[in-house]
Amino acid sequence: MAITKGAGTSVIGSTASTTTSSAQDSSGAYATECYISLVQVGTASGAATVQIQVSPDAGTTYYSPPSLLWTAPLVAGTYNTVLAIPVTAGKWKAVFTQCTGGTSSTVVVQSNAVTGV
């Protein structure tokens, strides 16, 4: 049995500013994953974070579960992670919060989904 994957979606383009993505629709997907890449320049005193907010009701209410909060290390480097969006989420957003006390942190967030089996 083959699966059909999406082509990938840019959720947050390369940015060094605290930002919230637009709502992403995952209601038609069998599974959705969120890919995060962060470059930390310098040593931060407060870590950059990406919080995935999920909505079970097509975007009326959003929740920020601790299991979908990714905290970057404080030291300079490039860091990558993948978070699975709950299959029951109808919509979701990515919230990037810039580091404090360091030079800067820059993030890119993308997603892809299994759209057919």
Kindly report, residue by residue over 53-106, the tens digit of the pLDDT.
999 998 999 999 999 999 999 999 999 999 999 999 999 999 999 999 978 999
**In the chain, how many domains are there?**
1
- Closest by CA position to 33, among listed 106, 107, 75, 85: 85
Domain range for 71 is 4-116
Q: Which residues pair with 51 in a beta bridge?
A: 69, 95
Percent pLDDT > 70 in the chain is: 100
Please state the pTM of the whole predicted model.
0.94
Residue 14, domain CATH: 2.60.120.230
d(CA 21, CA 83): 16
